[in-house]
Amino acid sequence: MFKHLSNLANLVQTASRLGDRLTELKHQMHGKRVRGRACHGDHEVVVELNGLGVVQTVELSESLFQDPSHKSLAQRLILESMNQAVSAAKELHVHAIKELTQGVDVPGLDKLIEELAS
């Protein structure tokens, strides 16, 4: 009976350490940056997100504003660059979660990582 109590104590300690590491990780991810870039000729859009997936900057080349017919091109480039940046942010998350849980058996973690990566 007491053996199970020590297992429970170890589980509580591990959970506490993971919670502390998760708080630290969130702070680190806030400071990281990922970029998505899309271009077509001299038209370019660059989107920068922080590691939490929050948009930080959007850069549009001046050439996109020179002709009203470039509107649909600008929209496509913005979408493409956003998707690239979001994918890069997901990769950061997957890497961070793997580091965070290294050596700890967390049920369902593999499925979570797989969903994040897709």
2-117 classified as CATH 3.30.1310.10: yes
Q: Sign of the CA dihedral 110, 113, 115, 118?
A: negative
Treating both helix axes as pointing N-terminal to C-terminal, what angle do 2-31 and 71-100 enclose, rounded to 10 degrees? Answer: 150
Q: Where are the domains of the chain?
A: 2-117
Query: What is the spatial distance between Cα 48 and Cα 55, in angstroms, rounded to a whole number?
Result: 6
Query: What is the spatial distance between Cα 19 and Cα 26, in angstroms, rounded to a whole number?
Result: 11
pLDDT of residue 61: 95
Task: Share the mean pLDDT of the chain.
Answer: 84
Quick: pLDDT tens for 106-118.
677 777 777 766 6
User: How does DSSP classify residue 49?
Assistant: E
Which segment, 11-15, 47-51, 103-107, is predicted with the most confidence on average? 47-51
